[in-house]
Amino acid sequence: MVTAKKVVWTEAAKKDLQNIYNQVASNKSSQHAKALMNMILASTLELETKHDAGKPEKLLARESEPYKYIITAYHKIIYSIVGDDVVVEILYHQKQDPVV
């Protein structure tokens, strides 16, 4: 049985999410941006019980804390597990160079 964890977002990840929303809303539509946000948020909520589903993040392999990622709609969501929390660290479109 998998123990449920609480999903929390860093300020950087919240800013990333807002930036993604703003970019999609300006390039496509606010409706499209809202749909994308709902997909991303639903994926991160699934981490409460499926936190082991992510793959190890190679760019952060040398860090003392293990980082994993999932992909939703071409957006990479990098997270770590800290105690009873799944911490969403950063997210970005896969075509971007990550700032980690």
What are 27-62's pLDDT values in tens digits?
999 999 999 999 999 999 999 999 988 999 887 877
Q: Is residue 52 domain-resident?
A: yes
Q: Is residue 14 domain-resident?
A: yes
Average pLDDT over residues 86-100: 84
Mean pLDDT of the chain: 91
Domain count, the chain: 1
**pLDDT bucket at 1, cuts 50 / 70 / 90:** low
Judged by DSSP in three states, 59 sits in: helix
Q: What is the pLDDT of residue 85?
A: 96
Pull the structure tokens for residue 36: 């994308």
Nearest to 56 by CA among 72, 40, 74, 80: 80
What is the value of pTM for the model shown?
0.88
- Give every CB contact of residue 2 below 8 A, 6+ residues apart in sequence: 49, 50, 51, 52
Q: Is residue 99 domain-resident?
A: no
Judged by DSSP in three states, 52 sits in: coil
Q: Is residue 100 domain-resident?
A: no
